[in-house]
Amino acid sequence: MKNLLQTGGLLLFLLCHHLVIHAQNTTTIQGKVTDAKSGAPLPGVTVSVKGKSTGAQTDGQGSYKLQVPAGGNTLVFSFIGYLSQEQPINGRSSVDIQLAEDLKKLEEVVVVGYGAQKKKDVTGAIASINARSIQEVSVTNPQQALQGRVAGIDVLINSNKPGDEPRVRVRGNRSITAGNDPLYIVDGIPYAGNLNDINPSDIASMDVLKDASATAIYGSRGANGVILVTTQRGKSSSPVRVTYNADYGIIKALGESDMMDATQYTNMRREANRAIGKYNDNNPDSSDAAVFNATEYANIKRGVNTDWQKLLLSSGWQTSHNLGVSGGSEKTKYAASLGYFKQQGVFKLQSYERYNIHLNLDQEISKRVRAGVSLLGTYSKRRGETYNGMSAALKMLPIADPYDANGNLIILPTGDSQQPNALLDYVPGNRVEDRTRFRLFTSLYGEVDIIDGLKYRLNVGPDIQQSNYGLFQGKNNTDLLIGGGDATAQKTNYTTLAYTVENLLTYNKVIHQKHNIGVTALYSVQRQREDSNNASVRGIPVEAQQFYNLDEAGNVTALGSQLGTWTILSYMGRINYGFDDRYLVTLTLRADGSSRFAPGKQWGYFPSVALAWNMTNENFMKSVTWLDNLKLRASYGKIGNTGIPPYATQGSLLRSPYSYNNKGVLGYIPNQLRNPNLTWETTSSVNAGFDFSVFKGRVTGSVDWYRQKTSDLLLNKLLPISNGFGSVLVNVGETQNSGVEIALSTAIIQNPNGFNWNMDVNFFTNREKILSLGNGAKSDPGNAWFIGEPITVYYDYQKVGIWQTEAEAQVYQQHQGEIRLNDVNNDKKLDANDRVILGSQQPDWSGGMTQRFSWKGIDLSIVAFARIGGMVKSDFYQNYNTLFGRYNNLDVNYWTPSNPTNDFPRPNRNQERPNNYTSLSYFDGSFFKIRNIGVGYNLPESLMKRWGMQALRVHADVKQPLIIAPYRQKYKGIDPEDVTTISVDAPATWMLQFGLNATF
């Protein structure tokens, strides 16, 4: 024991001695960093010791504190958007500095694809949002962060199911049948599939390439725009920084569909029978007994009035947690994070859960050699992706009682075999639907400086995806109760292996301080292999097995497997030339060879040219002091769209059973006519615009005009039936898009010691139209394609009211109380010649606005966007407005002899749907939404010092608190935001969320 005490005492002495020596060899430096112009404190400034890894970051009040080794040292202050500054310590213990803002911000770097450029050198139409903007609103996937924030980018949430992705369009639709989704590039590597796999907190910036000059470097896949996603990376000479962000929100449906209650429904059903002479108002009780079955009649007498939406909908919730670590020395930079997200939908059977891991590492191996890796790993589980509880809820009759006297669910609450109890799906085990996904997306690079200005870079991007889907429906599931039969199950698995290899050679040189030359050469290959299989069975003997033991089922109803592979080989060259920071030229040519096309048609060539003029650098502009920056831009180029799946040019066979020698055998017949002449859809694009900054950076922005023409559309050409095929896929037809985009950023009020107000606004229009359909055709009414009209239009009969008299209606073989249509050609009959183009989903204009307010430690942000004009089609008014009586109905103002309205037709028991019912489905699609209101508070610096933290912010957000739309306020709909049709599915929601952001 004595020896142990002596040893412990010696260790204690050595530790104290080390601490004393260390304290003698270091000194504490503290200070404050402020804006040179406004005097406002600058949080997040990196303060490092030159030549050493020691450093810190300023807190919310611009203050910093760090230990500096003894001796002559120099502090380096750096912050994005400001000029870096070095300050020798010279024995001081306090160093306060002011950082000068680069007013023109021309030195900021913009990701342009296969590299980056300073803003002053950019010739294309590029828009960017940073991490602050992404995290400013509550989003579940990266695309949602773009909604209302970038001019020319249309992001529509067309599904409210947990785990669904929005639809994204960059400058409208170009293709009629091929895809219109943009190409996503993550950390330099093409990213296919589900962007839900990426945690928005891991994103540092998103850059949208819009014109041909910017997208031509991606050749055959750039026609629909390119979105570059850059993930968080570490910083050089930065201390270890630990962040933790957590949120929790309550989700509620925005409202219920306005269905009929018990009284309204019974009156409608009586009227439906009254219309056909089967309801006697002189003897209503006897008539009710005849109109309603025994169960329904008894429930009416008992006063049953069930709100099925309330029974099926409940409060959902959402939570996220993100833990991140970043930092770096002069040679090593690192960033790592773990993320967890879960959303429980307002239907109990729907949820989405995701686990994320993110790692970025950049290493300087020597002065000439660098290497790095970016890794994104995801595991997710989604439940109930095809479950449609809303459809079941809306069909159920309000006079149906879901429970018996003992509280048990009644399987057929009205005795109607087509209306099983919608709550049966909530019974554990009756319906199980799961999809699990695993993805590992990696970007590795190595970079070598060959000689001064000449650099070689190798990018390698392996991508592994694996998905398992299973659906089990027990015999008491509502779908099977309607269709009949034993329990069913299906299972689908797919595995995707992809890789990208890019060889980049870049040369950058400044000659005589006036000639800026940049050359990029690329050779790359991308390959993807997808292997999938599926099986469906009926007759699961033990329902607890669900979809995990398919081989014990009584019948195999479907079995299949597929393999799809494709390869793209590419060459690209780009030349950037700038003279005296005034005149800029960018020339690009990319050649893509795709295995999707037949030999002889596999290669496409995509050139572009762009010019820019920095007018403010001209001598004659020096006297214009209020204008900080004015750059004119113009570009032209061609870009492509692969447009077809693998093997589309080879045709396909279909298995066909037939009898041979009185035996059943299988044969194969041609299923799809092959066309070896298929090639790319090609878009020619011209863009003109300018970027500006005025009043010392108080107002900045850009204006763009563009026109795009897409030719060689991939369309199915109709063939005579005698040919044996109904159609063949060919390159034919043209479309055109044109539009205007305006983006503004303003600092309205700047008060470093008080109130601040900043605003971002964007406005854009897009006009798309079909120029030709081939063979001289002016229209294709069957597909609703018309020359001179947008790609998607609503082509139907036009409702002009309700027939008020039988005499008027009989002229058109109609009846009083039915829908009155517009006789367009006034020939006293209604036929196909009376169909007209009612409208299009294309809005007159769209725009967004972000308002930011701050006062001392309090901040407030409001994000809004609008789509004005355009038309939507509502399935609610088409599928749940039958006025038939078998199912519940939307609460509409229908015609009766005592209520001669022109709104909706008379209920009729003999019509399963009203005649010409589709004409009831079209509405004004305009809306204005406040997407998010967020308020936060940064705790005081003094408290943070006591707690040993850099910063702590608490916040509250309200997601989608306000929608102003005719469809909602006038027509009692819920949310008009959809692509083409407002579907009957998971309802739109709003959310109240609370969270915190901690930095250590």
**Distance from chain centroid for Cα 884:** 39
Note the pLDDT of residue 702: 94
Contact 204, 358 (CB under 8 A): no
Work out the mean pLDDT of the chain and round it to a whole number.
Answer: 88
pLDDT in the model for residue 592: 92
- pLDDT category at 986 given cuts 50, 70, 90 is confident
**Mean pLDDT highest for which of 2-6, 671-675, 927-931?**
927-931
- State the pLDDT at residue 53: 62
In three-state form (DSSP H/G/I as H, E/B as E, the rest C), the secondary structure along 90-134 is: CCCCECCEEECECCCCCCCEEECCCCEEEHHHCCCCEEEEEHHHH
Question: Considering only 123-132, 150-159, 457-466, 976-985, which range has the smallest mean pLDDT?
Answer: 976-985
% of the chain with per-residue pLDDT over 90: 55
pLDDT digits (tens, 9 = 90+) for 799-832: 999 999 999 999 999 999 999 999 999 999 999 8
Q: Is the pLDDT of residue 349 over 90?
A: yes
Sign of CA dihedral 600, 602, 603, 608: positive
Exposed (0-12), middle (13-18) or buried (19+): which is 90, by Cβ within 10 Å?
Answer: exposed
Residues 982/875, Cβ–Cβ less than 8 Å: yes
Is it the case that residue 4 has pLDDT exceeding 60? Answer: no
* Two structure tokens written together for 606: 């995509």
Are 894 and 271 in contact, with CB atoms under 8 Å apart?
yes
Give me the pLDDT at residue 25, please: 65
Confidence of residue 70 (pLDDT cuts 50, 70, 90): confident
- Using a 10 angstrom Cβ sphere, with 0-12 exposed, 13-18 middle and 19 or more buried, the burial of residue 222 is buried
Which residues in 148-161 are b (16+ Cβ under 10 Å) and which e? bbbbbbbbbbbbbb
Higher pLDDT, 901 or 551: 901
829-879: pLDDT as tens digits: 999 899 999 999 999 999 999 999 998 889 999 999 999 999 999 988 888
Q: Does 382 or 134 have the greater pLDDT score?
A: 382
Strand partners, 585: 577, 611
643 has pLDDT over 80: no
Residue in 321, 332, 337 with CA at minimum distance from that of residue 203: 337
Predicted confidence at residue 468, as pLDDT, reads 96
At 754 the pLDDT is 79
Q: How far apart are CA 371 and CA 145, in angstroms?
A: 31
pLDDT at 615 over 80: yes
> What digits encode the pLDDT tens for the residues 308-321?
999 999 999 999 99
DSSP strand E in 878-980: where? 922-924, 927-938, 951-964
Angle between helix 294-302 and helix 284-291 axes, rounded to 10 deg: 130
Q: For 455, left (φ over 0), alpha (ψ -120 to 50), or beta?
A: beta
Across residues 577-600, what is the average pLDDT? Answer: 91
Residue linked to tokens 């828009």: 127
User: 770 CB contacts (<8 Å, ≥6 apart)?
Assistant: 176, 733, 734, 735, 785, 786, 787, 788, 789, 790, 791
pLDDT at residue 359, as a whole number:
95
Q: Give Cα 25 distance to the centre of its chain.
A: 54
Would you say 845 and 870 are in contact if contact means Cβ atoms under 8 Å apart?
no
Over residues 295-307, the pLDDT tens digits come to: 999 999 999 999 9
pLDDT at res. 101: 65
CA nearest to 855, candidates 944, 955, 936, 759:
936
What tokens appear for 829 in the block?
Answer: 């009959």
Q: What is the 3-state secondary structure (H, E, C) of 814-837?
A: CCCCCEEECCCCCCCCCCHHHCEE
Residue 17, pLDDT above cutoff 50: no
Q: Please give the backbone phi and psi of residue 975, each rounded to the nearest 5 degrees, phi first.
A: -145, 120
Residue 835, pLDDT score: 94
Phi, psi of 890 (to 5 degrees): -55, 145
Instruction: Give me the mean pLDDT over the 350-369 stretch.
Output: 94
Say yes or no to pLDDT of 401 above 90: yes
Mind listing the pLDDT tens digit for each residue in 261-281?
999 999 999 999 999 999 999
- The confidence score (pLDDT) of residue 696 equals 78
pLDDT value for 12: 40
**746 neighbors 846 (Cβ within 8 angstroms):** no
* Parallel, antiparallel or unpaired: strands 63-69 and 55-57: unpaired
Q: Nearest-CA neighbor of 594 among 603, 586, 581?
A: 603
User: 705 versus 167: which is more confidently predicted?
Assistant: 705
Tell me the C-alpha to C-alpha distance, in Å, between residue 305 and each of 38, 265, 271, 851: 65, 10, 19, 46
Q: Name which of 565, 489, 572, 504 is nearest 534 in CA terms.
A: 489
pLDDT value for 720? 73
Q: How many CB atoms lie within 10 A of CB 126?
A: 24
Question: Is the confidence at residue 721, as pLDDT, over 80?
Answer: no
Mean pLDDT over 914-923 rounds to 92
Instruction: Judge whether 574 and 609 are in contact, CB under 8 Å.
Output: no
Q: pLDDT tens digit string along 192-243?
A: 877 889 999 999 889 899 888 888 888 888 888 899 999 998 888 888 999 9
What is the rounded CA–CA span in Å between residue 106 and residue 578?
14
Give the burial string for 329-365 (b: 16+ CB within 10 Å, else e).
beeebbbbbbbebbbbbbbbbbbbbbbbbbbbbbebe
| pLDDT surpasses 90 at 16 | no
Q: Is 974 helix (H, G, I), strand (E, B) or coil?
A: coil
Region of poorest pLDDT, from 28-32, 67-71, 138-142, 942-946? 67-71
**Range in 2-6, 289-293, 490-494, 742-746 the model is least confident about:** 2-6
pLDDT at 619: 87
Three-class DSSP labels, 616-685? HHCHHHCCCCCEEEEEEEEEEEEEEECCCCCCHHHCEEEEEEEEECCEEEEEEEEEECCCCCCCCEEEEE
Kindly indicate the confidence band of residue 19, based on its pLDDT and cuts at 50, 70 and 90.
very low
**Mean pLDDT value of segment 495-524:** 92
- Looking at the whole model, is its pTM more than 0.75? yes
DSSP label of 898: T
* pLDDT for residue 5 is more than 50: no
- Given a cut of 90, is residue 86 above it in pLDDT? no
